[in-house]
């Protein structure tokens, strides 16, 4: 006997939990892609994409996942041999830099390790040391989905400004947009990338590059900018197909229109941020209690440096791997694997997991996932402290 029948819950950091309303909006025949409703809907989606990023500037839409958006940003910003400064706080920051390197960019990396956020003082020092002003762009990950760390975007902007350096600031918000507070204009961000399948609650398949007027002017004709990835026609289309460099991602647009309506016009962005924060704090409270009686720790010690969409944790002696398996097969909850926290193929790999609380999630989903995890710890005799569910419910009750 197991308890996995019923609606499964994929509690991994993308694809996130999607509203049935979004899926239902996609379930329809193909629309006219030349004129009519789809054109109007796309104009509204583009405007709403700016609203969700709190940007009044430009946005380009791509049929791509997050890796495609990294490439889109790189293609529009750099010529071969240009220099980037990449700030790595986990797997995703490292990989964006490697991607840039593979495309011919000289990507200098400052690696802040797996347990702490970017130190703005080191960024300022690196930019001051760049006396020839060769660094064109600083690449930053807002929330690194592997480590769960959240970086302070305004502090990095302030470091660039304090160094008096002209570098543009590019931010990967793939794991944070629609979950954690983010303000494109107010925070002085120049480029930001995000995809459909995380905080925006739509299946994987479309993604976006927001860019400032300053970024547009600073990059008139980089030689990595190929016709398909060029953000110009996508952000300033003269014909409808130019939004997408070809056929529109018709059904994703219907889904996105619905999700943006839910986020912006129904729940409200401030409430969406507050909900993610409360659910995140409930998860952290549970881990703190479990950790008081077992080899269980959150990856990021400082709560202010933790993202609100995903929590990375360690359960020693392979407990994380065993618990993940139990939760999925016995209780219908799939937790995220640890990513980049241990060498692949070593026993330590089984010590790490991630719990997502990202997208269309509410109290019963997150509290339910925590209750399932504790049930699994009991069933597997993984030592853990008491009172985790009490602590989590107290967070949700107290808000
Ligand atoms: C998920 C994610 C990516 C990669 O996105 P894919 O859609 O898997 O290509 C990149 N950066 C961050 C921060 C992410 O969370």
The tens digit of pLDDT for each residue in 86-133 reads 999 999 999 999 999 999 999 999 999 999 999 999 999 999 999 999
Q: Does residue 338 carry a pLDDT above 70? A: yes
pLDDT of residue 321: 97
Q: Tell me the mean pLDDT in the region 26-53.
A: 97
Q: Say yes or no: CB of residue 179 within 6 Å of ligand 1.
A: no
Q: Binning pLDDT at 50, 70 and 90, where does residue 358 land?
A: very high
Looking at ligand 1, which atom is closest to the CA of residue 310? 15
Q: Say yes or no: CB of residue 348 within 6 Å of ligand 1.
A: no
Looking at ligand 1, which atom is closest to the CA of residue 143? 13
Ligand 1 pocket mutation pick from 13, 70, 195 by most atoms within 8 angstroms of CB: 195
CATH 3.90.1150.10 residue ranges of the chain are 9-16+269-396
pLDDT of residue 399: 63
Q: Tell me the mean pLDDT in the region 348-363.
A: 97
Q: Binning pLDDT at 50, 70 and 90, where does residue 170 land?
A: very high
Q: Does residue 37 carry a pLDDT above 70? A: yes
Q: What is the token pair recorded at 330?
A: 């016995």
**Domain made up of 9-16+269-396: CATH architecture:** Alpha-Beta Complex (3.90)
Q: Tell me the mean pLDDT in the region 3-14.
A: 96
- Mean pLDDT, all residues of the chain: 97
Q: Say yes or no: CB of residue 145 within 6 Å of ligand 1.
A: yes
Whole-structure pTM value: 0.98
pLDDT of residue 39: 97
Q: Say yes or no: CB of residue 44 within 6 Å of ligand 1.
A: no
pLDDT of residue 153: 98
Q: Binning pLDDT at 50, 70 and 90, where does residue 328 land?
A: very high
Euclidean distance between CA atoms 324 and 346, whole angstroms:
17
CA of 96 to the centre of ligand 1 (A): 10
Annotated binding site for substrate: 354
How far is CA 100 from each of CA 76, 86, 139, 144, rounded to the nearest angstrom?
Answer: 12, 10, 10, 17
Q: Say yes or no: CB of residue 147 within 6 Å of ligand 1.
A: no
Euclidean distance between CA atoms 352 and 348, whole angstroms:
8
pLDDT of residue 326: 98
CA of 258 to the centre of ligand 1 (A): 22
CA of 99 to the centre of ligand 1 (A): 13
pLDDT tens-digit series, residues 199-243: 999 999 999 999 999 999 999 999 999 999 999 999 999 999 999
Share of the chain above pLDDT 70, in %: 100
Sheet holding 168-172, edge to edge: 58-62, 207-211, 191-195, 168-172, 135-141, 83-88, 106-111
Class of domain 31-265: alpha beta
Ligand 1 pocket mutation pick from 13, 66, 86, 145 by most atoms within 8 angstroms of CB: 66
Ligand 1 pocket mutation pick from 71, 140, 175 by most atoms within 8 angstroms of CB: 175
Annotated binding site: 354
CA of 210 to the centre of ligand 1 (A): 16
CATH 3.40.640.10 residue ranges of the chain are 31-265
CA of 67 to the centre of ligand 1 (A): 6
Give 217: exposed, middle or buried? Use CB within 10 Å, 0-12, 13-18, 19+. exposed
Q: Does residue 342 carry a pLDDT above 90? A: yes
Q: Does residue 248 carry a pLDDT above 80? A: yes
């Amino acid at each position: 006997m197991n308890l996995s029948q019923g609606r499964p819950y994929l509690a991994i950091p993308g694809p996130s939990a999607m509203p049935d309303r979004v899926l239902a909006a996609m379930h329809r025949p193909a629309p006219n892609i030349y004129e009519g409703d789809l054109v109007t809907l796309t104009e509204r989606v583009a405007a709403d994409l700016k609203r969700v990023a709190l940007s009044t500037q430009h946005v380009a839409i791509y049929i791509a996942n997050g890796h495609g958006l990294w490439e889109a940003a790189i293609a529009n910003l750099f010529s071969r041999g240009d220099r980037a400064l990449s700030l790595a706080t986990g797997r995703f920051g490292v990989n964006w830099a490697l991607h840039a390197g593979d495309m011919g960019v000289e990507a200098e990396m400052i690696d802040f390790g797996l347990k702490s956020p970017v130190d703005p003082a080191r960024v300022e020092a690196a930019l001051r040391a760049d006396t020839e002003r060769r660094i064109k762009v600083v690449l930053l990950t807002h929330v690194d989905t592997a480590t769960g760390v959240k970086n302070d975007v305004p502090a990095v902007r302030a470091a660039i400004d304090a160094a008096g350096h002209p570098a543009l600031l590019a931010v990967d918000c793939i794991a944070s947009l629609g979950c954690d507070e983010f303000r494109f204009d107010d925070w002085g961000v120049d480029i930001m990338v995000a995809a459909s399948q995380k905080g925006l609650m739509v299946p994987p398949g479309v993604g976006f590059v927001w860019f400032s007027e300053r970024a547009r002017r600073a990059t008139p004709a980089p030689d990595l900018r190929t016709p398909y990835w060029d953000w110009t026609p996508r952000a300033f289309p003269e014909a409808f197909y130019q939004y997408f460099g070809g056929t529109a991602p018709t059904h994703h647009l219907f889904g996105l229109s619905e999700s943006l309506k839910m986020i912006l016009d129904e729940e409200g962005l401030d409430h969406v941020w507050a909900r993610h924060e409360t659910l995140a704090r409930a998860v952290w409270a549970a881990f703190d209690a479990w950790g008081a009686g077992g080899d269980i720790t959150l990856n990021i010690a400082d709560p202010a440096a933790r993202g609100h969409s995903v929590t990375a944790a360690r359960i020693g002696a392979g407990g994380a791997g065993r618990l993940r398996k139990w939760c999925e097969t016995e209780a219908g909850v799939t937790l995220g694997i640890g990513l980049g926290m241990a060498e692949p193929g070593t026993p330590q790999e089984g010590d790490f997991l991630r719990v997502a609380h990202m997208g269309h999630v509410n109290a019963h989903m997150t509290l339910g996932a925590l209750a399932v995890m504790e049930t699994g710890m009991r069933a597997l005799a993984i030592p853990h402290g008491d009172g985790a569910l009490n602590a989590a419910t107290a967070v949700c009750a107290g808000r």
